[in-house]
């Protein structure tokens, strides 16, 4: 019997990306998606999580379990801490998309840059990197860059300006760190416009690394 995975999103536009990744990396797994874009709007407006947001995200995960998910993966970094905060609501494994990215960043360097357009994403991402570094007994320095103007451009549909602002900050940051973490999947599109030959350090994005980690996790489970 096939394993069933639920992806929980706060950006419905990410569904095609994860469909493609699942088709490539999880061909024998049945997947389905649950999305609530109001969650993202609320956490961005508040600048961080509150209990109501945690409860709402937990309710989505509980529904995913009710619909038959064997594993749930949360794809929004701003809500990453929720995976540990709602264990009383969810009995199946509840994973966060950015853990593998954090592990890779810690492996690659001591000076880690984190770039985001939403303030709500910075603390969960930096906290995760610190936690993963501590687990490995490694000391890291983290430099964060917030590009609020790029988020405004994204929300208004001005993708060219969004990408320009992100690329400018990436090109500045890469001279000061060993590796750059793209704290939001939406930044990856802009980062991709910088040719590999011009990158001084690796750029890490969570979707592919996260789904690869998910594949490994599923493979470790006992057969149904």
The angle, 0 to 180 degrees and rounded to 10, between the axes of the packed helices 37-46 and 51-66 is 160
Neighbours of 45 (CB within 10 A): 8
| Whether residue 109 sits in one domain with residue 79 | no
| Whether residue 112 sits in one domain with residue 93 | no
pLDDT tens, N- to C-terminus, the chain (224 residues): 889 999 999 988 889 999 999 999 999 999 999 999 999 999 989 989 999 999 999 999 999 999 999 999 999 999 999 999 998 889 999 999 999 999 999 999 999 999 999 899 999 999 999 999 999 999 999 999 999 999 888 888 888 999 999 999 999 999 999 999 999 888 888 899 999 999 999 999 999 999 999 999 999 988 87
Placement of tokens 């690394």 in the chain: 209
Q: Measured between alpha carbons, how far is 75 from 135 in angstroms, rounded to an integer?
A: 22
Model pTM score: 0.92
| Whether residue 107 sits in one domain with residue 53 | no
| Whether residue 151 sits in one domain with residue 134 | yes
Q: Measured between alpha carbons, how far is 34 from 90 in angstroms, rounded to an integer?
A: 15
| Whether residue 92 sits in one domain with residue 80 | yes
Q: Measured between alpha carbons, how far is 98 from 199 in angstroms, rounded to an integer?
A: 22
SS3 assignment for 119-176: HHHHHHHHHHHHHHHHHCCCCCEEEEEECHHHHHHHHCCCHHHHHHHHHHHHHHHCCC
| Whether residue 65 sits in one domain with residue 141 | no
> What is the domain-level CATH number for residue 176?
3.40.50.1860
| Whether residue 70 sits in one domain with residue 84 | yes
The edge-to-edge listing of strands for the beta sheet with 179-182 is 141-146, 111-116, 179-182, 203-205
| Whether residue 192 sits in one domain with residue 214 | no
Domain that holds residue 181: 99-206
> What is the domain-level CATH number for residue 81?
3.40.50.2300
Number of domains in the chain: 2
| Whether residue 212 sits in one domain with residue 172 | no
Per-residue tokens: 132: 């993963």
Residue 71, classified by CB atoms within 10 Å of its CB into exposed (0-12), middle (13-18) or buried (19+), is buried
Contacts of 220 (CB under 8 A, 6+ apart): none
């Amino acid at each position: 019997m096939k394993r069933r995975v639920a992806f929980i999103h706060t950006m419905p536009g990410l569904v095609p990306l994860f469909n493609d990744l699942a088709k490539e990396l999880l061909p024998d797994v049945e997947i389905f998606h649950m999305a609530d874009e109001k969650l993202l709007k609320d956490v961005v407006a508040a600048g961080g999580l509150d209990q109501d947001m945690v409860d709402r995200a937990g309710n989505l995960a509980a529904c995913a379990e009710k619909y038959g998910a064997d594993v749930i993966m949360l794809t929004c970094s701003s809500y990453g801490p929720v995976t540990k905060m709602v264990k009383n609501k969810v009995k199946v494994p509840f994973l966060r998309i950015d853990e593998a990215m954090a592990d890779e960043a810690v492996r690659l360097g001591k000076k880690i840059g984190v770039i985001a357009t939403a303030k709500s994403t910075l603390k969960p991402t930096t906290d995760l990197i610190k936690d993963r570094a501590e687990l490995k007994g490694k000391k890291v320095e983290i430099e964060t860059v917030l590009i609020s103007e790029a988020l405004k451009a994204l929300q208004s549909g001005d993708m060219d300006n969004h990408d320009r602002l992100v690329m400018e900050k990436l090109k500045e940051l890469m001279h000061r760190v060993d590796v750059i973490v793209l704290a939001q999947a939406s930044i990856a599109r802009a980062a991709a416009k910088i040719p590999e030959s011009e990158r001084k350090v690796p750029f890490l994005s969570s979707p592919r690394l996260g789904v690869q980690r998910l594949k490994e996790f599923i493979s470790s489970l006992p057969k149904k």
